[in-house]
């Protein structure tokens, strides 16, 4: 029971870490709430468009960092025997996913958060750096081609499971935990970006570099 409690505690802490929204924490220092500005999304893109690049960099750094920290917590050996019995990678994936959920529905900010892209990237960066590098390259390429941040984020998330399962990238060994994590992140990111996708269908989604809200 104690060991199970440690794992549950890690998951709860992952969600609490995710709930520390970068844009809302920085906004309190600046006296603004970006959920009342631009698109109303508490994420890096809206922070960039409504407050400026310095503010946005700080926001993204916090959001990526909490994803890294949550995944690291999953890897950490806190003295529970389940750490050896349960794959540490599985724990890291679970904690990372909880952080993304916390970012999207932060307990400290009325469950109104961002869309999870930066925090998901931070978790992936800690869990599988090679995957994070591949996904970052994919995202940048899509931005250069289409200049739609939301679409690039969704397509990159959807590419995650394909990259995990790609022959040779894991020396022929596909981690079930990592694959499940990638599929779960892809589904969540697609869901949280549904408004972006709806605006694309309507032809009203702005491209990066324009001043209108995403």
pLDDT tens-digit series, residues 104-162:
999 988 898 899 999 999 999 999 999 999 999 999 999 999 999 999 999 999 999 99
Q: Please give the pLDDT value at position 174.
A: 64
Q: Please give the pLDDT value at position 42.
A: 82
What mean pLDDT is predicted for residues 155-181?
A: 81
Q: Where are the domains of the chain?
A: 2-202
Q: Integer distance in angstroms from the first to the last C-alpha of the chain?
A: 46
Q: Please give the pLDDT value at position 214.
A: 36
Mean pLDDT of the chain: 87
* Residue 159 token pair: 């590419």
Q: Do 139 and 153 meet the contact criterion of CB atoms below 8 Å apart? A: yes
Alpha-carbon distance of 154 to 92, in angstroms, equals 22
Q: Please give the pLDDT value at position 1.
A: 40
Q: Is the pTM of this model over 0.75?
A: yes
């Amino acid at each position: 029971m104690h060991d199970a409690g440690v794992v549950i505690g890690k998951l709860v802490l992952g969600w609490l870490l995710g709930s520390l929204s970068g844009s809302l924490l920085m906004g309190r220092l600046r006296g603004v709430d970006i959920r009342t500005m631009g698109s109303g999304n508490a994420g890096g893109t809206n922070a960039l468009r409504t407050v400026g690049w310095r503010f946005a960099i700080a926001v993204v750094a916090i959001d990526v960092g909490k994803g890294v920290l949550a995944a690291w917590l999953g890897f950490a050996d806190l003295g529970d025997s389940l750490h050896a019995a349960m794959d540490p990678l599985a724990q890291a994936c679970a904690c990372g996913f909880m952080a993304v959920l916390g970012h999207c529905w932060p307990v400290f900010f009325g469950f109104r958060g961002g869309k999870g892209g930066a925090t998901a990237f931070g978790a992936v960066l800690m869990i599988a750096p090679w995957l994070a590098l591949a996904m970052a390259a994919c995202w940048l390429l899509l931005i250069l081609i289409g200049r739609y941040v939301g679409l690039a984020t969704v397509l990159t998330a959807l590419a995650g499971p394909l990259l995990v399962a790609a022959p040779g990238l894991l020396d022929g060994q596909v981690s079930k935990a990592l694959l499940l994590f990638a599929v779960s992140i892809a589904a969540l990111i697609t869901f949280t970006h549904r408004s972006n996708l709806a605006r694309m269908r309507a032809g009203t989604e702005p491209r990066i570099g324009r001043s209108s809200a995403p």
